[in-house]
Amino acid sequence: MAASIDVVVPVRDHYALTIACLEHLERQTAPHRVIVVDDGSGDGTAALLRRDWPQVTTIELGSNHGFTTAANRGVSAGEGECVVLLNNDVQLHPDCLERLAAPLEADATIGSVAALMLAPGERTIDSIGVAADVTLAGFARLQGHPVTDARRCEPVLAGPEGTAGAYRRRAWEQAGGLDETIRAYMEILDLALRLQTAGWRTACAPDAVGVHLGSSTYGRRSATQRRLAAFSRGYLLRRYGVMLSRAAVRALVTETIVVVADMLTRRDPQALLGRVEGWRAGRGCERRPWPPSDAIDSSISLGESFALRRGALRGKSS
C-alpha cells in the first residue's frame, strides 16, 4: 500500500492554534489532504479558512456536535487509505506523517499507529498512545517520562491517543468509526479496544513526532470537561460490562474514590452526574465484547492507576 493520507482536524474556535497546526502540516514530507471540520466555532473559523487556506477542505457543521461527530464527518469526507486524526493544538515535525503511515504500509494486519507526542520544550513525553488497565480506564502512555523512554514496550499499547494517530481506513470503517454517543473523551480508547477486538493490531511510531501544546476547547478541569469525561466513563463501564467482570470490585472502589475526591476538591457533583448520565445512555445498548488480553495492561496496579490519574490532574495532559 502506497498510502494516500487524509488528515482530519476537528476544531472549535481558537483559530490561531488551527493556523499553527496547518502551517506545520504544510511542511510535511508526505503528500496528504487536510480536512478541517468546524464544530460550531463562534470566531469565524470556517470563513477565515476558506479565505486564507483554500487548499484545505473545510466542513462546517453549523452548531457544536462534539469531537466524535466532527471526526467521523471528516473521515467520511475523505478517501485516503490512511486517516490521521489530529488535534489543532498539535505541531508536527516535518516527517511525522511519513513515519506515522509507514507501519500501515509495511504490515497489512496493523489497523492503527500511535505517534509520539511531546510536551512543549520537547524534553518529556505527553503520550505515545494510550494504555488501559483491567477496569478499562485509559491513560496516556509514558506521560511525563523522558523522551529516551519512547521505545519502551510497557505499559501495553491499546492504540493511538486522541491528539495524533493514524488509522487504516478499512479498519476504521469495519469498526464503525467513533461512537457518537460520546461527545468527547475516551472515544479514542473505545475505538482502540474495538479495533483490537476485531483482530486489528496496533503499533507505535516513536519517530513520528509532534508537540502537544495542550487543549483549550473545554478548559482543563472545567465543569464541562469533567462532566463529559465522567459521562464517557459511565457509558463505557456499562457498554463493556465492567461491573459484571472480574474487575468489578476494583472498578467500584476506583470510581467511588474518584467521584468523592472530585466532589471534595471541586465542590460540585459533575463527576457523579456525568457517570450517572453515561450509565443511563448505555441502557439497552448491546454489550461490547471484552477486549483481548493484548489490549489491556493487567500489570497496572490500583495504586499505579491512581498515580496516573494524579499525573494527568497535575497538568501533564489535557
Candidate CATH numbers 3.90.550.10, 3.30.1490.20, 3.40.190.10, 3.30.70.20; the one for domain 5-212: 3.90.550.10
Residuewise pLDDT in 10s, the chain (318 residues): 456 999 999 999 999 999 999 999 999 999 999 999 999 999 999 999 999 999 999 999 999 999 999 999 999 999 999 999 999 999 999 999 999 999 999 999 999 999 999 999 999 999 999 999 999 999 999 999 999 999 999 999 999 999 999 999 999 999 999 999 999 999 999 999 999 999 999 999 999 999 999 855 545 568 899 999 999 999 999 999 999 999 999 999 999 999 999 999 999 999 999 999 999 999 999 999 999 999 999 999 999 998 887 665 444 332
The rounded distance, in Å, linking the Cα atoms of 65 and 187 is 14
- Distance between CA 229 and CA 275 in Å, rounded? 8
Stretch (H or E) spanning 58: strand 57-60
Torsion angle in degrees (nearest 10) through CA of 174, 177, 180, 181: 50
Outline which parts of the chain fall under CATH 3.90.550.10.
5-212
pTM of the model: 0.93
Tens of pLDDT, residue by residue over 183-196, are 999 999 999 999 99
- CB contact burial 266-289 (16+ within 10 A = b; e otherwise): eeeebbbbbbeebbebbeeeeebe
Q: What percent of the residues of the chain are helix, what percent strand, and what percent coil, each to the nearest 5?
A: 40, 20, 40
The closest of 203, 158, 155 to 299, measured between CA atoms, is: 155
